[in-house]
């Protein structure tokens, strides 16, 4: 009887397992059709090696793996990320040789193993310089010796599951360049193109036959849609199978129509433009997710003499004396201005509260972000005290006139009024409102702001020409966020007419931290994080910019979409688990 009981138990367990398998298989590919909006043009190509637009990148991103990917939870590169090949990596002692070990259990959807040869096919094609690929800039030189601007000297594969990258010099920021080239099925691309890499451009809309990802089999209707169906051979799924049956990229004329179609239930998920976020947030039957945009708005100061623009360094790399702006050359004046601007009220008034205050050159979704770094509070009394300390006083007891410089002012002649020109690009309504707000608030403490909204091209000429006083503009940052900021604040980027370090800020301690962050042994991410947080604290105090805010980005999905679990900047990371319930 005991044996009989065990047999019954085994039969029951096997029956339950069998039911479980049947249930799982019944759900595979039965999660419905996912429809998102394409407000851009059609994809220019379906070839990931020549892809150069957002639309193409999104489509091919479902079909071809990257060698290294970002962990969606941290937004930083990590090994063993689903859909990517890197199992681990390490640097040698010199910091110039990176060895990447690949996962050994992955295959293209025709069953062919994915190996280092697939990455090397892409590398060879791009480095040849014979294609229209925009990815040549990852290399120091191309095969014919043409300088390409990158730091990668060589890439090789000593075996099927190892890739070795050699850099010209230690630079942790060059790590992300390794991922510029996607993996392609070498056996298929060799059959199609051989070594005639120029022919990669011959048929840009050729439909790929072998892929790796949660979807496959492109169905393309120009000006209407791009459609992909579920690929159940994809191994890196959340649920053990791909839940949605199809992914559709639907062409929509503009954001107004897109939102209307979304609210009507014709689109499954979408990015919501700023002007419609308040409406969508309260719509019934809708899920929303908000996070800080991957960029920020700021007011930048010219710290050098605007009447005599100079580069930051001479041809030998020596620092050039650029003089000082009569007002902004004194950090106390910049700090006073920061105290006098009510950024929280600005976010409420301009963004209806849908934004995050920024205190330095990093954003809340960056891995270098320090939530404990405080900015300058809105405090008019503190602002006036700093201005008095800096030698700016009210000489006529008339609050309608600007303060004037005394002999204690560092760079302004005595009697100089505290007055400057603030410019931004006309037509950007948010920036125009920022300028009007700053003009009004600084007038309350005796600073006269002549605010101008001008044509964008003219603004850029003034900005890069370094003839401005102060300017309102913004940075949009790439992903993954590169924490190296020498391009914006280092003397090497301070080039009249060309560079982005147009404020002429130059702090040797900050510059040294930037160098440490790029060359730290092994590019250890926690050690780099500490360095960049220290550097950002310096910027928060020195204020080459008054850092303002990052507007919120909103994504929305229909309420009947299950397993929609977005991260900032990675709202589709688990799309293979989504399902649309009737």
| Tokens encoding 128 | 């040849």
Strands (DSSP E) found in 79-173: 86-91, 97-102, 152-159, 162-167
Domains of the chain: 31-42+213-285+559-582 (3.40.190.10), 64-205 (3.90.76.10), 295-552 (3.10.105.10)
pLDDT of residue 76: 86
Sequence-separated (6 or more) residues with CB below 8 Å from residue 388: none
> Tokens 């960056």 map to which residue?
366
Quickly list H helices, 396-507: 429-443, 456-465, 486-489
What is the three-class DSSP state of 297?
A: strand
Helix (H) or strand (E) holding 376: none
d(CA 458, CA 74): 39
Instruction: Provide the residue-wise pLDDT of the chain in tens; the chain has 582 residues.
Output: 333 232 333 333 333 333 333 333 337 889 999 999 999 889 999 999 999 888 899 999 999 999 999 999 988 889 999 999 999 999 999 999 999 999 999 999 999 999 999 999 999 999 999 999 999 999 999 999 999 999 999 999 999 999 999 999 999 989 989 999 999 999 999 999 999 999 999 999 999 999 999 999 999 999 999 999 999 999 999 999 999 999 999 999 999 999 999 999 999 999 999 889 999 999 999 999 999 998 999 999 999 999 999 999 999 999 999 999 999 999 999 999 999 999 999 999 999 999 999 999 999 888 899 999 999 999 999 999 999 999 999 999 998 999 999 999 999 999 999 999 999 999 999 999 999 999 999 999 999 999 999 999 999 999 999 999 999 999 988 766 789 999 999 999 999 999 899 999 999 999 999 999 999 988 988 999 999 999 999 999 999 999 999 999 999 999 999 999 999 989 999 999 999 987
Q: Which of 529, 520, 539 is nearest to 367 (CA)?
A: 529
Q: Supply the pLDDT for residue 22.
A: 34
The tokens for 25 are 């298989």
- The encoded tokens of residue 414 equal 């005595």
Of all residues in the chain, the percent with pLDDT exceeding 70 is 95
- What local confidence, expressed as pLDDT, does residue 52 receive? 86
Q: What is the pLDDT of residue 543?
A: 98
Instruction: Residue count of the chain, please give it.
Output: 582
Radius of gyration of the chain (CA): 28
Task: Tell me the pLDDT tens digit for each residue of 177-218.
Answer: 999 999 999 999 999 999 999 999 999 999 999 999 999 999
Q: What is the pLDDT of residue 10?
A: 32
Tens of pLDDT, residues 216-248: 999 999 999 999 999 999 999 999 999 999 999
- Which helix (H) or strand (E) segment is 288 a member of? strand 286-292
DSSP-derived pairing of the beta strands 404-405 and 579-580: unpaired
Each residue's pLDDT tens digit, 435-478? 999 999 999 999 999 999 999 999 999 999 999 999 999 998 87
Nearest-angstrom CA–CA distance, 322 and 316:
16
Q: For position 271, what pLDDT does the model report?
A: 95
What is the reported pLDDT for 496? 96
Concatenating the DSSP letter of every residue in 108-119 gives: -TTSPBP-HHHH
Contact 191, 134 (CB under 8 A): no
- The answer to whether 133 touches 197, Cβ cutoff 8 Å, is no
The phi and psi torsions of 158 (rounded to 5 degrees) equal -70, -20
Judge whether 121 and 155 are in contact, CB under 8 Å: no
If one counts every other C-beta atom within 10 angstroms of the C-beta of residue 524, the result is 12
Q: Which residues of 241-273 are buried (b: 16+ CB within 10 A; e: fewer)?
A: bbbbbbbbbbbbeebeebbebbbeeebbbbbbb
pLDDT recorded at residue 72:
93
């Amino acid at each position: 009887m005991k044996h009989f009981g065990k047999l019954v138990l085994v039969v029951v367990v096997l029956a339950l397992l069998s039911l479980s398998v049947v249930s799982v298989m019944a759900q595979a590919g039965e999660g419905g059709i996912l429809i998102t909006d394409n407000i851009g043009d059609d994809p220019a190509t379906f070839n990931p090696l020549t892809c150069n637009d957002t639309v193409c990148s999104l489509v091919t991103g479902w079909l071809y793996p990257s060698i290294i990917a970002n962990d969606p939870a941290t937004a930083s590169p990590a090994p063993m990320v689903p859909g990517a090949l890197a199992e681990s990596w390490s640097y040698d002692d010199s910091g110039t040789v990176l060895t990447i070990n690949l996962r050994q259990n992955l295959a293209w959807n025709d069953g062919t193993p994915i190996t280092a040869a697939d990455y090397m096919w892409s590398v060879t094609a791009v480095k040849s310089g014979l294609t229209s690929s925009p990815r040549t800039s990852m290399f120091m030189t191309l095969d014919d010796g043409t300088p390409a601007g990158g730091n990668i000297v060589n890439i090789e594969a000593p075996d099927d599951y190892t890739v070795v990258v050699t850099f010209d010099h230690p630079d942790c920021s060059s790590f992300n360049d390794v991922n510029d080239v996607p993996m392609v099925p070498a056996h298929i691309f060799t059959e199609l193109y051989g070594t005639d890499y120029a022919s990669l451009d011959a048929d840009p809309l050729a439909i790929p036959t072998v892929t790796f990802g949660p979807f496959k089999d492109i169905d393309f209707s120009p000006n209407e849609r791009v459609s992909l169906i579920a690929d159940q051979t994809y191994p890196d799924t959340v649920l053990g199978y791909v839940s949605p049956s199809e992914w559709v990229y639907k062409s929509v004329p503009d954001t107004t129509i897109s939102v209307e179609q979304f609210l009507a239930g014709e689109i499954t998920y979408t990015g919501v433009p700023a002007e419609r976020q308040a409406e969508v947030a309260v719509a019934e039957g809708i899920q929303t997710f908000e996070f800080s945009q991957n960029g920020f708005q700021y007011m930048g100061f010219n710290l050098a003499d605007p009447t005599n623009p100079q580069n930051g360094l001479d041809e030998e790399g020596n620092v050039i004396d650029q003089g000082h702006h009569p007002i902004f050359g004194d950090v106390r004046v910049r700090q006073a201005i920061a105290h006098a601007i009510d950024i929280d009220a600005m976010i409420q008034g301009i963004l209806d509260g849908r934004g995050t205050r920024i205190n330095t050159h990093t954003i809340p979704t960056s891995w270098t972000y320090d939530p404990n770094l405080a900015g300058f509070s809105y405090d008019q009394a503190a602002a006036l005290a700093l201005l008095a300390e800096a030698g700016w006083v009210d000489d006529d007891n008339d609050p309608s006139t600007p303060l004037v410089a005394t002999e204690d002012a560092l760079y302004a002649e005595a009697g100089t009024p505290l007055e400057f020109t603030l410019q931004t690009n006309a037509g950007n309504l948010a920036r125009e409102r920022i300028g009007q707000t700053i003009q009004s608030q600084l007038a309350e403490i005796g600073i006269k702001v002549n605010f101008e909204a001008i044509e964008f091209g003219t603004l850029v000429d003034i900005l890069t020409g370094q003839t401005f006083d102060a300017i309102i503009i913004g940075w949009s940052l790439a992903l993954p966020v590169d924490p190296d900021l020498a391009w914006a604040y280092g003397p090497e980027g301070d080039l009249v007419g060309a560079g982005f370090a147009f404020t002429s800020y130059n702090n040797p301690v900050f510059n040294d931290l930037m160098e440490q962050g790029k060359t730290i042994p092994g590019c250890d991410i926690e050690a780099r994080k500490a360095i960049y947080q220290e550097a950002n604290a310096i910027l928060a105090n020195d204020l080459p910019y008054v850092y303002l805010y990052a507007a919120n980005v909103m994504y929305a999905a229909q309420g009947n979409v299950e397993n929609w679990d977005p991260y900032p900047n990675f709202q589709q990371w688990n799309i293979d688990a989504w399902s649309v319930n009737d």
